[in-house]
């Protein structure tokens, strides 16, 4: 079943067309990897899916429903959770409080359920030892984990991950990938923008490559990574 469908989605900032007629479908349970050079329009595409930005043209359908005009909190409550490239926790609040807040306001859970969710997500993301620490004092890995945990606390059916492995060391990225594999195994549909290609390839069922706001390639990961045009644009390798 198709969980998310984009139909000819476009977005410009002034004269700059950042998303240019993207059409894309994501099946329930699938992990779609998104690749593209810096400034290709990947984060903007996430913003159009999550509602952080409005489309100029085209349609966003989620779970069989047109969500193009819904606001970000409405899309979140419908099951679209996301992490941001730059972690955005409430720095003065504890890790636990951040998760309860996400569960209450993003996931519309009553206080008791939100507490249970926060405990569960702490365990899933390895954050239990840091539950009572202020979020602002966490290491980069733990801030990334919290970013993931906050999205999970909203109980998403579709999870958008924006460069969640960026800036991590190899062993840290491996820890994060193991966590993402467990989330995938629970049936959560994921779209993951990532420049750490080997991490992405360890999870993605399919790749979608964007260049100048347009689809450059799409398909099975190995085939896409061997595509001469992808190698030229993304890796700078001439055939």
Ligand X SMILES: Nc1ncnc2c1ncn2[C@@H]1O[C@H](COP(=O)(O)OP(=O)(O)OP(=O)(O)O)[C@@H](O)[C@H]1O
Span 67-106, contacts to ligand X by CB under 6 A: 85
Q: Which of 4, 22, 26, 42 binds ligand X (CB under 6 A)?
A: 42
The two structure tokens encoding residue 127: 């954050």
Q: Does 156 bind ligand X (CB under 6 A)?
A: no
Which part of the chain contacts ligand X (CB under 6 A), choosing from 31-39, 66-74, 122-130, 153-161? 31-39
Q: Which of 22, 26, 31, 44 binds ligand X (CB under 6 A)?
A: 44
Q: Least distance in Å: CB of 21 to ligand X?
A: 15
Q: Which of 43, 50, 98, 124 binds ligand X (CB under 6 A)?
A: 43
Span 106-145, contacts to ligand X by CB under 6 A: none
Q: Does 51 bind ligand X (CB under 6 A)?
A: no
Q: Does 164 bind ligand X (CB under 6 A)?
A: no
Question: Which of 13, 93, 114 has the alpha carbon at shortest distance from 55?
Answer: 13
Distances (CA, A) of 171 to 18, 143, 149, 221, 226: 34, 16, 19, 23, 27
Q: Least distance in Å: CB of 197 to ligand X?
A: 13
Q: Which of 6, 40, 80, 118 binds ligand X (CB under 6 A)?
A: 40
Which part of the chain contacts ligand X (CB under 6 A), choosing from 33-41, 121-129, 138-146, 228-236? 33-41
Q: Which of 39, 91, 137, 228 binds ligand X (CB under 6 A)?
A: 39
Q: Does 48 bind ligand X (CB under 6 A)?
A: no
Q: Least distance in Å: CB of 133 to ligand X?
A: 28
Q: Kindly tell me which of 51 and 107 has the beta carbon lying closer to ligand X.
A: 51
Q: Kindly tell me which of 19 and 98 has the beta carbon lying closer to ligand X.
A: 19
The DSSP-derived string for the chain is -EEEEEEEEEEEETTEEEEEEEEEEEETT-EEEEE--TTSSHHHHHHHHHTSS--SEEEEEETTEE-TT--HHHHHHTTEEE--SS----TTSBHHHHHHHIIIIIT---HHHHHHHHHHHHHHTT-GGGTTSBGGG--HHHHHHHHHHHHHHT--SEEEEESTTTT--HHHHHHHHHHHHHHHHTT-EEEEE-S-HHHHHTT-SEEEEEETTEEEEEE-HHHHHT-HHHHHHHH----
Sites of contact with ligand X (CB under 6 A): 13, 18, 36, 38-44, 85
């Amino acid at each position: 079943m198709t969980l998310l469908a984009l139909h000819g989605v476009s977005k410009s900032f002034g004269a700059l067309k950042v998303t240019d007629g993207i059409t894309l479908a994501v099946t329930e349970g699938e992990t779609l990897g998104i690749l593209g050079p810096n400034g290709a329009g990947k984060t903007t595409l996430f913003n159009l899916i999550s509602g952080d930005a409005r489309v100029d043209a085209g349609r966003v359908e989620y779970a069989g429903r047109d969500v193009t005009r819904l606001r970000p909190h409405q899309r979140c409550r419908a099951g679209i959770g996301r992490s941001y490239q730059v972690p955005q926790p409430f720095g003065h609040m504890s890790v636990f409080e951040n998760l309860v807040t996400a569960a209450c306001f993003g996931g519309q859970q009553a206080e008791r359920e939100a507490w249970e969710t926060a405990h569960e997500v702490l365990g899933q993301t390895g954050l239990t030892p840091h539950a009572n620490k202020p979020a602002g004092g966490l290491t980069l890995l733990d801030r990334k984990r919290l970013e993931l945990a906050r999205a999970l606390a909203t109980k998403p059916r579709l999870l958008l991950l924006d460069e969640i492995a960026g800036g991590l060391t190899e062993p840290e990225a491996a820890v994060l990938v193991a966590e993402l594999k467990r989330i995938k195994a629970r049936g959560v549909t994921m779209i993951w923008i990532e420049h750490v290609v080997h991490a992405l390839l360890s999870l993605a069922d399919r790749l979608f490559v964007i260049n100048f706001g347009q689809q450059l390639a799409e398909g099975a990961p190995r085939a896409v990574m061997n595509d001469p045009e992808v190698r030229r644009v993304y890796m700078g390798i001439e055939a």
